[in-house]
Structure 1
Amino acid sequence: MEKVAAQQLFVVVALFRPVDVGAIFDRREWPAHVTLASNFAVTDHGEGLARAVSKGCADYEQLSVRFAAPAMFGRDPTVPVQLVESADLHEMHERLADLLEVMPGFAAADPDYWRAGYRPHMTQVPTVAVRDGDIKQMAHVAVAALTENTATVISALALSHEPHGV
């Protein structure tokens, strides 16, 4: 009997600071980020995935985001987040969804968080304090392979300009 490989999950995030390809983070201790494309699987884990994300982010400079109210996310609403408002984030999410959903083997881990269910947010991290109304710039995007406990950066790109703060 042939052994079937375990399904690999990925996520695409916008970051305030750059990260290196190969960096590994405990999923409970990510750097501050906003998810652009929630957990998904594709069969092309390499250059095809990186090209799709790069194409989806093309034409964007740094993303200006306005922090809104705190909220609780997750299936059992136990994850504290800060909601984020930005028309660019919604537009970029749609572009990425268009490109990722047609990749071979695409499957959203939770389709409720795609398209109309996308709600930009930053998971609260102890090293970053933001208040409702704060405006910050994001200029980095990363693709990470996910396991139950870790996120490993497999691709990273800088948008056109460097951000200020956070």
Structure 2
Amino acid sequence: MGAFVVVVFVQPVAAGLTFERSRWPLHITLARFDAKENADVVMGRLGPALTPHLGFRVRIGGDDYFGRNGTVHVSLVEPETRLQRLHEECLAAVGSDAHLMSPHHTGKHFRPHVSHTVGRLQPGDEVAVRQAALVDMRPDSDSRFRRVLGVWDSDAEAGTNPPLNAS
């Protein structure tokens, strides 16, 4: 069981990266969910589903404000059918038993964006969607931190495309 998020980091990262919850590297969230299965089972489903759909670029659009009170400053990602497909493949791989944390922001209501955290992107910037990563939202039962559990790269070998694990 665990609380997870699948993201595309703006800059490539390695599995094992741990950071404070307020210090997220810039990223595009594909799905935030709780799963009954452990991380290994979740990674086993995500890898084959996501890897074939990596390896393209998206363009950053204008700014907006998200969140319950409209206080989270974000850069929107311009519509891109391949990113939408990656999001949908992620949801399918996560499965119907997972609890999506924001189901009203998924599927046709997916609004990809990059939150302004430890920096920001500018309109017109491009992001290479070359990795997808599974992040543990409570590593070692500590919600103050996040840990990258696995990374799938568009350059991974064909086959099962195992994540580039830290261990």
Identity of aligned residues (%): 25
Structure 1 residues 60 and 116, CA, compared in 2 at 3 Å: closer, same or farther? Answer: closer
4+ residue runs of structure 1 moved beyond 6 angstroms? none
Matches within 5 A, 1:1-166: 8-37=2-31, 39-85=32-78, 86-102=80-96, 105-128=97-120, 130-147=121-138, 148-160=143-155
Segments of 5+ residues of structure 2 without an aligned counterpart are 157-167
Distance 2:108 2:16 in 1: 32
Number of aligned residue pairs: 151
> Which residue type is aligned with residue 102 of structure 2?
D
1:121-152 deviation digits (Å, cap 9, x = unpaired): 01113444x32222231312110111343211
Mark the runs of 5 or more structure 1 residues left unpaired by the alignment. Answer: 1-6, 162-166
The structure whose residues are more often helix, as a share, is: 2
Aligned to 1:4: none
Structure 1 76/8 Cα, relative in aligned 2: closer, same or farther at 3 Å? farther
* Cα contact 1:17–1:139 (8 A) shared by 2: no
Contact kept in structure 2, 1:17 and 1:140, CA below 8 Å: no
What SS does the corresponding residue of 2:52 show, helix, strand or coil?
coil
One-letter amino acid of the counterpart of residue 137, structure 2? L
Normalised TM-score (structure 1): 0.81
Between 1:79-88 and 1:143-152, the stretch displaced more is: 143-152
Counterpart AA for 2:153: A
